[in-house]
Amino acid sequence: MDAKKEKQNRIRELATKHNAVILAHYYVADEIQEVADFLGDSLYLAQQAQSTDADVILFCGVNFMAETAKILNPQKIVIVPDNTATCSLAECLDATDCIQWKQRFDNPYLISYINCATEVKTISDVICTSSNALKIVESAPKDATLLFAPDVNLGNWLNKTLGVNMQIWNGHCVVHHNYKLGKLMECMTLHPRAEVIAHPECPEEILQYADFVGSTTGIINYAKKGSCDAFIVLTEVGVLRTLQMNSPEKHFYTIHSNPPICVNMKRHSLDKAILALDTLSPQITMNEDIRLAAYKPLAKMLELSK
Ligand code: SF4
């Protein structure tokens, strides 16, 4: 048996021993994806975290995702393989700046992307993910001043798509924001029949050329069901594994020879997952008042997503 398989087997043994469920995001390394009980995007993983009856959650994603699992499951032990896995987008806005920004508007209604700090969630009216953002924004009160944080590209795309005029915080993801239009043009010239499928965290100049814009899950479903056999993929490369597995006969292209990767998602490894399950650490902990305040807008999102 090869070393990778041995480590994956050890992870499964430890998961059984501790009645642990392993949740993994599409952007983590393939070897981690392979060993997960549930693989998905932010919304799916939050839903799984909410419904699991496991005693322990091993969360392989960035920290705000593991914190979301803890907010939804205060009684469960939530552990991560590497607790330095942060998200550049979530770090674009802290609670103090968010409060001051909110105070500048009359009757504000803050819609926060799930990629934000727990403290920002506590002062949000509702949370959204890229899977449900259209629905969540449409459900916002019509008489309020709508604020959207922290992703400027997703916010602009929502404004344009829905014909609304939300005030938007100027944050971005270092991965999706770094796709270059020139490289996309080169790739479209090389593969003229390929459809462009993009995540809404990409800049507007990129999104205007997309045949489909949607969440990671939306992208996966679109490529699987679509009749086209070639796609230019504009989201983190971790998704290529699922795209190719679902449609081995189709072709998937990235626009950069070294596409921008989410280095934080890649911090998790099999060795770190074994250690985390063996020691039940590092654990996600949280002040109960903060958790309760963050739970409210998250629960509202999950209710609106049903
Ligand atoms: S890809 Fe971007 S938004 Fe997603 S976790 Fe990484 S840094 Fe955050």
Binned average pLDDT, 10 residues per bin, the chain of 306 residues: 95 98 96 96 87 94 96 94 97 97 98 97 97 96 97 98 98 95 96 98 97 96 96 96 97 90 97 98 97 97 90
Say how far apart CA 190 and CA 75 lie, in whole Å: 53
Which residue CA neighbors atom 3 of ligand 1 most closely?
Answer: 173
Burial pattern 253-290, b for ≥16 Cβ within 10 A else e, equals ebbeeebbebebbbbbbbebbbbbbeeeebebeeeeeb
pLDDT the model gives residue 297 = 97
C-alpha of residue 114 to centroid of ligand 1, in Å: 11
Tell me which residue has its CA closest to atom 5 in ligand 1: 87
CA dihedral in degrees (67, 73, 299, 236; nearest 10)?
Answer: 40
| CB neighbour list of residue 246: distance below 8 Å, 6 or more residues apart | 220, 223, 224
Q: Is the peptide bond before 282 cis (omega within 30 degrees of 0)?
A: yes
- CATH (residue range 90-168): 3.40.50.10800
The residues, any chain, with a CB within 8 Å of residue 78's CB and separated by 6 or more, are 56, 57, 59, 66, 69, 70, 283, 284
Q: Phi first, then psi: what are they for 148, rounded to 5°?
A: -130, 130
**Distance (Å, rounded) from C-alpha 183 to C-alpha 57?**
40
Domain with CATH 3.40.50.10800 in the chain: 3-86+265-286, 90-168, 176-253
User: 3-86+265-286 sits in which CATH class?
Assistant: alpha beta
**Whole-angstrom Cα distance, residue 230 to residue 191?**
8
How confident is the model at residue 228, as a pLDDT?
97
Alpha carbons 78 and 57: distance in angstroms, whole number: 5
Three-state DSSP class for residue 212? strand
In this prediction, residue 133 carries a pLDDT of 97
By the 8 A CB rule, do 254 and 183 touch? Answer: no
Q: Which of 115, 127, 185 is nearest to 152 (CA)?
A: 115
DSSP secondary structure string for all residues of 30-84: HHHHTT-SEEE-HHHHHHHHHH---SEEEEES-HHHHHHHHHH-TTSEEE-S-TT
**What single DSSP character describes residue 2?**
-
Query: Is 154 strand, coil or helix?
Result: helix
pTM of this prediction? 0.95
> What pLDDT does residue 258 have?
83
Q: So what's the pLDDT on residue 259?
A: 84
Q: Determine the pLDDT at residue 1.
A: 74
Binding-site residues, ligand 1, Cβ < 6 A: 27, 62, 87-89, 115, 173-175, 236, 262, 264-265
Q: Which atom of ligand 1 is nearest to the CA of 90?
A: 8
User: Measuring from atom 8 of ligand 1, which residue has the nearest CA?
Assistant: 87
| 4-15: b (≥16 Cβ within 10 Å) or e | eeebbebbeebb
pLDDT at 100: 98
Q: Whose CA is nearest to atom 6 of ligand 1?
A: 262
Distance CA 281, CA 111 (A): 32
- Kindly give the distance from the C-alpha atom of residue 264 to the centroid of ligand 1, in angstroms, as a whole number: 8
Q: Which residue reads 């392979």 in tokens?
A: 34
Contact (CB, 8 A) for 115 and 173: yes
Q: What is the CATH topology of the domain spanning 176-253? A: Rossmann fold (3.40.50)
Q: Quote the crossing angle between the two packed helices 42-51 and 288-304, to the nearest 10°.
A: 110
Helices (H), the chain: 3-17, 30-33, 42-51, 63-72, 95-103, 118-122, 133-138, 152-162, 181-190, 204-207, 216-225, 240-246, 270-279, 288-304
